Structure 1
C-alpha cells in the first residue's frame, strides 16, 4: 500500500471514530466539567453550605466540640459521620439518625458548631457526579451498565489518540512555534488558531 493511501486510511479511521460517539462524548465531557465544579456551584446557590467566621482569626472547632454542640442542640440525634470538606469556607457535613429511624445530613458551621441547615439525600453535586459516572442508569444486581458504557468510551478515545498521532506527525512543532496567518483570510486564520 503506498504511503499516501496509508495516511488517508489513518485519517479516515481517525475522523470516523468520533462520528458515532460525539454526542455521548459531549455529554460525558460537559457533565464531567459540571461535576468538577459542582461543590462550588452548590456553595454559591445555598447559603447554608457556607462556613463563615464570626470574628477575625477564629479557628475551627475540634470534633469533640462539634459533637457536644450538636448534642446540646439535638439531644436525641445519634451522629454516624462527620465529613470535613477540603476548603475552609465549606460547612461540615454531619450524618445523624433519630430514634424514629429517620436520618438526616446536616450542614454545621465548623467555627461556631451551629446547625445551618439540612442537605437533601441527593443534591446537585451527587446528581452531576452520577450523571457523569454512570448516566443515572439504576444499579441492578450490583452493577450499572451505564458505568460500563462510560468506561468503554475510553477505547475509542484511545484509538482516536493513536490515529491522531499517526496522522498529524510532529504536532508538537505547532505548540513550540505557533504561527497565525492573518493575511490569508478568516478560514485560514481560524484554522491555524485552533491547530
Structure 2
C-alpha cells in the first residue's frame, strides 16, 4: 500500500558526501519513516523522476521509491526499505541511456541486467520482494547503487564521467533520466 502526499525536498547533487558512501540501515519503523517515504515520493514526482534513493534528498537511510514501468509497460509504484539486490547468475546485459536527478541534464549508456529483483521490508517492517524487467530492473539497480554510494556516472570511463559532471554543474536542475526522459 503506497501513500502519497508529502513535501518535495531539494535533490542532492553529485559531489555531496551523503551520495558517496553506503547508507545506514533503517532500524526504526515509525511515523517519521512514513513521512520520509511520502516526502521521497513527492520529491521524485516534483523532479519528474521514476526512482529516488533517500540519499538523493540528503537522508542517510537505505530506502528507495519507484514509480516505474517494466518491459510490459506495467507500472510499479513501491518503496523498499533495506533493499538487497538480486541479479540472475546468467545475466542478459542491456545497454541503454541512463540519467540521474543528482546529475541533472546528462545521460549516458550504461550496461545493466535485463532482469533484477529486490528484497527488503515495507514501512511496517513486513518482508517484500519485487521482480523487475526492462526499465524497472534498471531502476532497482540504479537505486541500490545510490544506497551503496555509487551514481551511474561512477560506472563510466573517467574522461566521459568528467565531461558529464562538468556539463551537469552548469545545469540548473532536473535533467533527463533512466530510459524515459525521467531520472532515477
TM over 0.5, shorter chain: no
Scaled by the length of structure 2, the TM-score of the pair is 0.25
Scaled by the length of structure 1, the TM-score of the pair is 0.24
Q: Determine which structure has greater relative contact order: mean sequence separation of CA pairs < 8 Å that are 6+ residues apart, divided by chain length.
A: 2
Larger fraction in helix: 1
